[in-house]
Amino acid sequence: MKKNINFYFILLLTAVIFSSCAQSVDQQSDLELLTSVENAFVNIVNRSKPAIVGIFVTGSEGSEPRHRIGSGFIFREEGYILTNDHVVRDARHIAVTLLDDSNFEAEVVGTDVNTDVAVLKIEREEAFSVLPLADSSKVRVGQFAIAIGNPFRLDYTVTTGIVSGKGRSILRGFSLIRYQDFIQTDAWINTGSSGGPLLNIRGEVIGINALIRRLDSGENTPAPAMAGAGFAIPINLAKTVGDQLIASGRVIRGYLGVSMRETRQGIRIRPVGENTPAYLGGLRRNDIIFEYNGQKVEKSLELQMLVAESQVGKRSMIKVLRQGHERTLSVTIGEVPPEWTGQVVDVESVSWKILGLSVRKLREGDFERYTYLTDEDQGVIVEMVKEQAPGDNAKIPRGALIVAVNGQNITSIQELEAVLQKQQEVEQELEQLILDIKSSHGEEKITVKLKP
């Protein structure tokens, strides 16, 4: 009996020893795994920091100076920085600081209020460190996310989490951001982190940290500081905007001119503005759009982004349901009105006073977006037409190229202003002007009667 007890004791002791050893091995394995993950995060942060910048903005509100802080990152080795429009808006002076405490004065290359993207430029002889960019269309909900920024002047603050959602839009309080396709993350985005990168586990940028949405907990119970969700602009969208801003200082987007809402069948058109591309192309109130250039559309955001990326002046095939019947419409895409992009009209310009037109110089990027332009074209682009423009000027579309006035070729705004001024001086009672223009309707002459 004693022999059996000893035998069972030895078995039990052996089992305990083996169990203890197995547990020790498991603990060691878990620790190695956690250490590997930890090292991955640390390495990503260390590699990324040289390309991440702190941004210090001096602006003004009335006569009082105002200071803002934000973040950004270098995405081209020549010193081009991506950040948010709201970080640098109305800036009088912008200073940029790198990890090594070197300071630079930054120039605003261009901003886009509709996506909240801005591009800055800093200069030095040697190339800058850059962050690699991911393909944000491949971002998965649940994957790791790492946010790095400059909150509260605490340089290079790192927060981690996951991607909580994709395709987020219609955030209250941000009505100026018309193209909302945010990546949602629980990696905390603090005040001052705006414009910094949201990275994946490979250290690639998947988005630009843009804003935090706090819980609305009522008037008497303010939301706690750490409540809410962070949102980032997908890097694919930000890069597209950034490249256009670098190329031409602005973004040219397609435009239909309709309001809409989603239904089970597609996207129902609400009021259609007169003389908009949609109206001129045959779209009418209560039409239900279900296909755009061969691509099925179910969400308003999908359609909005497809139209925005379309070439101005190009015809798009839109399939609609009208009173239960399917119809295909060919719609010439227009350009987003400049007042939607935060542009201001120079009401003191001669062209605005005489013609009721706001114009700008022809830029390199125009040849890529306006299908009716060629590299040989010269002139000025019409950006806005006054509602009560003289004569047939109201028929000149946005994006049209003014080539000549009364037979005199135009190659710049200064030439146009000089020609108009001279015509006004020569003919005190200036009654009409003949404009040679080029648009999606082709080349034509328009006689503008200045007197009734």
What's the pTM value of the predicted model, to 2 decimals? 0.64
Q: Name the residue among 363, 353, 326, 361 with its Cα closest to residue 450.
A: 353
- Known catalytic residues are 86, 116, 194
Q: Tell me the CATH architecture of domain 254-335.
A: Roll (2.30)
Residue 397 structure tokens: 């579309």
Q: Span 1-16, mean pLDDT? A: 51
Q: Residue 123 phi/psi, 5° resolution?
A: -125, 140
Residue 271 structure tokens: 């009021």
Per-residue pLDDT, 3: 46
* Residue 2: pLDDT band with limits 50, 70, 90: very low
Q: Span 37-59, mean pLDDT? A: 90
pLDDT digits (tens, 9 = 90+) for 406-415: 888 888 888 8
* Residue 129: pLDDT band with limits 50, 70, 90: very high
Contact 93, 105 (CB under 8 A): yes
- For residues 38, 210, 248 and 138, what is the CA-based torsion angle, rounded to 10 degrees? 50
Residues facing 192 on adjacent strands:
none
DSSP 107-166: EEEEEETTTTEEEEE---SSPPP---B--GGG--TTSEEEEEE-GGG-TTEEEEEEEEEE
Residue 220 pLDDT > 70, yes or no?
no
Instruction: Go through the chain and tell me how many residues it has.
Output: 452
Q: Between the ranges 64-78, 121-135, 154-168, where is the mean pLDDT highest?
A: 121-135
* Residue 259: pLDDT band with limits 50, 70, 90: confident
Residue 211 pLDDT > 60, yes or no?
yes
C-alpha angle 359-365-367 in degrees, rounded to nearest 5: 85
Per-residue pLDDT, 16: 52
Contact 375, 149 (CB under 8 A): no
Per-residue pLDDT, 55: 93
Per-residue pLDDT, 178: 62
Residue 402 pLDDT > 70, yes or no?
yes
How many whole angstroms separate alpha carbon 22 and alpha carbon 4? Answer: 27
| Higher pLDDT pick, 199 / 341 | 199
Residue 321 pLDDT > 80, yes or no?
yes
- CATH class of the region 343-449: mainly beta
Cβ within 8 Å of residue 58, ≥6 positions away? 65, 66, 67, 91, 92, 93, 94
Q: Span 300-316, mean pLDDT? A: 84
The CA-atom distances, in angstroms, between 199 and each of 37, 98, 134, 184, 383 are 15, 18, 9, 13, 38
* Residue 151: pLDDT band with limits 50, 70, 90: low
Per the listing, tokens 């990503």 go with: 44
Per-residue pLDDT, 196: 93
* Residue 15: pLDDT band with limits 50, 70, 90: low
pLDDT digits (tens, 9 = 90+) for 158-189: 888 999 988 777 554 444 456 667 899 988 77
CATH 2.40.10.120 correct for 40-216+223-251: yes
Residue ranges, CATH 2.30.42.10, the chain: 254-335, 343-449
Per-residue pLDDT, 218: 47
Q: Kindly report the average pLDDT of the chain as a whole number.
A: 80
Contact 44, 199 (CB under 8 A): yes
Q: Amino acid identity, residue 387?
A: E
* DSSP three-state, residue 73: strand
Q: Amino acid identity, residue 283?
A: L
* Residue 7: pLDDT band with limits 50, 70, 90: very low
Per-residue pLDDT, 221: 42
Contact 404, 435 (CB under 8 A): yes
* DSSP three-state, residue 409: strand
Residue 161 structure tokens: 């989490």
Q: Between the ranges 8-22, 207-221, 276-290, where is the mean pLDDT highest?
A: 276-290
Residue 432 pLDDT > 80, yes or no?
no
Q: What percent of the chain has pLDDT over 90?
A: 29
Which secondary structure element, helix H or strand E, spans residue 76, and what is its range? strand 64-76
Per the listing, tokens 């083996």 go with: 18
Residue 131 pLDDT > 60, yes or no?
yes
Query: Measured between alpha carbons, how far apart are the two ends of the chain, in Å?
Result: 125
How many whole angstroms separate alpha carbon 201 and alpha carbon 324? Answer: 49
Q: Amino acid identity, residue 238?
A: A
Three-state DSSP string of 206-266: EEEEEEEECCCCCCCCCCCCCCCEEEEEEHHHHHHHHHHHHHHCCCCCEECCEEEEECCCC
How many whole angstroms separate alpha carbon 288 and alpha carbon 196? Answer: 39
